[in-house]
Amino acid sequence: MSKSYKKALAVLAGLAALPLTIASAYGAEPPKSAAEYLAAAPAAMSMSDEDFAVAKALYFNRCAGCHGTTRKGATGPNITDENMKKKSYDAEVVKVFITNGTGGGMPSFGAGEMSEADIGLVANFIMMPPPAPPELGMAEITESWKLIIPEAQRPKKPEHSKNWKNFFGIVLRDAGKVAIMDGDTKELVNIVDTGFAVHILRSSASGRYFYSIGRDGKATMIDLWMAKPDKVAEVKTCHDARSIDSSKYKGKKGDFEDKLAIIGCYWPPQFAILDGQTLEPKKLVSTRSFTYDTNEFVNEARVAAIIAGHHDPVWIANIKESGYIWTIDYSDLKNLKITMAETERFLHDGGWDATKRYVQMAANMRNKMVIVDSHTGKQIAQIETGQKPHPGRGANWVDPKFGPVTATPHLGEATVAAWGSDPKGHKQHAWKVVRKVETLGGGGLFVKTHPNAKHVWVDHTLNPDDNIKRSVCAFEKADNAKKKCWQVADHGRVTHFEYNQAGTEVWVAVWDQVGELVVYDDKTLKEIKRIKGDWLRTPTGHFNVYNGMTDTY
């Protein structure tokens, strides 16, 4: 290991422990334009307007998700220029770090994902004060809203004979598109233009619609009943976003299935409530707030994961930097009720237990999973699972010894940790780690299973080793010692799993400019089909309609 690389690791480890601040490097009035910004930057770090624009876009698309729009850290450490200078950090060390990544979850961007020139631009950009990101209010959001096909003009029943509940939505990240595939035939149905770098798709409660959200904050609504599924509405509620969901409650307090939708923003820190049939903006709520522990104001208190309640008319939202989980009661938008549960910083992703009562979210920089009872909106437990848990939505199954459990992989260590998640039937094991299964290495982003499946699957997407990041492991629910690991592809990164509706097949993506989708038989672990094509550009997440509408994972 080179001296520069050792220095990069040592310095970034130190930065991870530094406190967050709300002050801009410029003070109260940061420059607004690129020219004004560049004029204020140190001469040694000067850039042309063109290079500055490229570097800013690269940082936003590749780095901001972990380090923050203003670089103050969350899943990744605080990398403001002020902290860099305190640690005697220079652009050359930053370049080494970006190029090689770390075993703690930072990918090696030099391994074909960014050119040497682009890495140099980003390194210099990081050594400059962060530019002030723009706000986005209701007037601008409403202006962006486009109702492409009104509800009255949409099909009254499916215009095709395909099993649309077994459709898969495939994120084509860098192409700014979503592919709709028939899960029965493995055939491409259509490719839909969406927002840039779509992060997730969520099914509506009925399953008829896919809602996508892009890194650019643009949401798209896709009607799967159309002869060729396509978008029927779109809106931009953020400049940077990760989360979207629909209203899924149907019960005594009213029928809200498909009636509303919610988008959580990274920047500006806010969430937007929309009409679920048209995406018309209805309400905007800021999440700028104070940390649960020190009551320090956090300007960049971002909305991470959102999940929809099935037993109550609520959404559960992680307010990432502040350490609060909000239970948002949408039954009366004019008198919106929000219950704020104190949990832990820095919240990222998670999902339901099998009963869809208990919210299980990762505070991955604190190495914990936090548990909130959605019936009360209160935290009931914290679980230390390992270094940087990253469950995706997690995986639920019945362990032969410990009963119902939920699991997460980790960014920072080679384990899948499973904890008891049945406080009624197996109280003695509830909210305690009961099993740990060794994987090939850290960098795990997703774990997945299905009630009908034999196996639990885990990836290693952000591991810096080429062989490991292209490999998956599958272990048996009934006997965790029965495990098989193998390399899926010889290029790109392998990421994310999704079962078909029946729970018999598992789809996994090869994330590359020339990507692949690989389908396996869950029972035998044998490859069924390898899907290729010029249209498969950077496939990442892929989502089954039925599993999405029922929150089966």
Report yes or no on 31 lying in a domain. yes
Catalytic residue among 239, 310, 348, 410: 348
Catalytic one of 63, 181, 238, 265: 63
Contacts of residue 3, defined as CB under 8 A and 6 or more positions apart, other chains included, come to none
3-class DSSP state for residue 142? helix
- Tell me the Cα Rg of the chain: 22
- What are the CB-based long-range contacts (under 8 Å, 24+) for 152-156? 154/223, 154/225, 154/226, 154/232, 155/223, 155/225, 155/226
Known catalytic membership, residue 63: yes
Phi, psi of 189 (to 5 degrees): -95, -45
Going by DSSP bridges, is the β-strand pair 250-251/254-255 parallel, antiparallel, or unpaired?
A: antiparallel
Cα–Cα distance, 440 to 266 (Å, whole number): 32
> Can you state the percent helix, strand and coil of the chain, rounding each to 5?
20, 35, 45
CA distances to 12, 154, 263, 278 from 150, in Å: 51, 7, 21, 7
In this prediction, residue 70 carries a pLDDT of: 83
485 is catalytic: no
Q: What's the distance, CA 219 to chain centroid?
A: 15
Query: Where in the sequence is the domain holding 22, given as residue range(s)?
Result: 3-126
Catalytic residue among 199, 239, 310, 390: 390
Clarify whether 450 is annotated catalytic: no
Token pair listed for 507:
């789809």
In a domain, 170, yes or no: no
Of the candidates 129, 94, 87, the residue with the CA atom closest to the CA atom of residue 110: 94
Q: How many residues belong to the chain?
A: 553
Scan for tokens 């522990």, then name that residue.
293
- pLDDT computed for residue 35 by the predictor: 52
**Would you say residue 465 lies in a domain?**
no
CATH code at position 117: 1.10.760.10
On whether the CB atoms of residues 294 and 306 are closer than 8 A, the answer is: no
The secondary element (H helix, E strand) that includes residue 360 is strand 358-363
pLDDT of residue 131: 83
In tens digits, what is the pLDDT along the chain, a chain of 553 residues?
444 444 444 443 433 332 222 222 222 334 444 455 445 554 445 688 899 888 888 887 778 877 878 888 766 788 888 888 887 778 888 888 888 876 556 777 887 778 999 999 999 988 888 887 889 999 999 999 999 999 999 999 999 999 999 999 999 998 999 999 999 999 999 999 998 889 999 999 999 999 999 988 999 999 999 999 999 999 999 999 999 999 999 988 789 999 999 999 999 999 999 999 999 999 999 999 999 999 999 999 999 999 999 999 999 999 999 999 999 999 999 999 999 999 999 999 999 999 999 999 999 999 999 999 999 999 999 999 999 999 999 999 999 999 999 999 999 999 999 999 999 999 999 999 999 999 999 999 999 999 999 999 999 999 999 999 999 999 999 999 999 999 999 999 999 999 999 999 999 999 999 999 999 999 999 999 999 999 999 999 999 999 999 999 9
Query: Catalytic one among 84, 106, 181, 369?
Result: 106
Q: 405 Cβ partners below 8 Å, 6+ apart?
A: 396, 397, 398, 399, 418, 419, 420, 421, 429, 434, 435
Taking the C-alpha atoms of residue 184 and residue 168, their distance in angstroms, rounded to an integer, is 10
CB of 63 within 8 A of CB of 106? no
Residue 388 maps to a domain: no
191 neighbors 198 (Cβ within 8 angstroms)? no
φ/ψ bin of 211: left (φ > 0), alpha (ψ from -120 to 50), beta (otherwise): beta
Residue 42 lies in a domain: yes
Question: 271 with 317: CB under 8 angstroms?
Answer: yes
62 within domain boundaries:
yes
Q: CA separation (Å) from 357 to 172, 306, 390, 548?
A: 32, 14, 20, 17
Query: Which among 191, 188, 196 has a CA at the least distance from the CA of 210?
Result: 191
Instruction: Name the active-site residue from 67, 429, 460, 496.
Output: 67
Q: Is 238 a catalytic residue?
A: no
> Which residues on neighbouring strands pair with residue 337, listed in sequence order?
329
Q: How many domains does one find in the chain?
A: 1
3-state SS class at 81: helix
Question: Could you tell me if residue 443 is inside a domain?
Answer: no
Is 82 a domain residue?
Answer: yes
Judge residue 169's burial from the number of C-beta atoms within 10 Å of its C-beta, 0-12 exposed, 13-18 middle, 19 or more buried: buried
Locate 311 and state its tokens: 């037993």
Contact 475, 397 (CB under 8 A): no
